């Protein structure tokens, strides 16, 4: 079972080097990276929320889950 481990420091891949991209492609790549990072942090917050819930600290668990939901929402927003 070979599964790629996800980290907060993963980078989006680009078919070309950054020097060959135009400004709109760089902007899209930066937004994609921002979205990826926010989703990973949200996942990390949810994991910590479960730990606090197991320790009977429901108020902190709820706050962490709410923060994770907010980050997921922000990650889904496109340039407005």
Rounded CA-CA distance 46/63 in Å is 10
Domain count, the chain: 1
Domain membership of residue 62 as a residue range: 31-76
Q: Is the pTM of this model over 0.85?
A: no
Angle, helix 58-76 to helix 23-54, in steps of 10 degrees: 160
Residue 5, in any domain of the structure: no
Specify if 40 maps to a domain: yes
| HSE-CB for 57 with a 13 A CA cutoff | 11
Judge whether 11 lies within some domain. Answer: no
Q: Which residues of 39-63 are buried (b: 16+ CB within 10 A; e: fewer)?
A: bbbbebbbebbeebeeeeeeeebee
Each residue's pLDDT, cut to its tens digit, for the chain (80 residues) gives 677 777 766 777 766 666 677 777 777 777 888 888 888 889 989 988 998 888 788 888 899 999 999 999 988 887 54
Residue 7, in any domain of the structure: no
């Amino acid at each position: 079972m070979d599964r790629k481990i996800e980290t907060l420091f993963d980078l989006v891949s680009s078919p070309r080097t950054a020097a060959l991209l135009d400004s709109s492609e760089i902007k899209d790549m930066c937004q994609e990276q921002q979205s990826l990072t926010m989703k990973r942090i949200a996942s990390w917050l949810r994991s910590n929320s479960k730990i606090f819930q197991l320790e009977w600290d429901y108020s902190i668990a709820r706050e962490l889950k709410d923060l994770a939901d907010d980050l997921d929402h922000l990650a889904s927003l496109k340039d407005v």
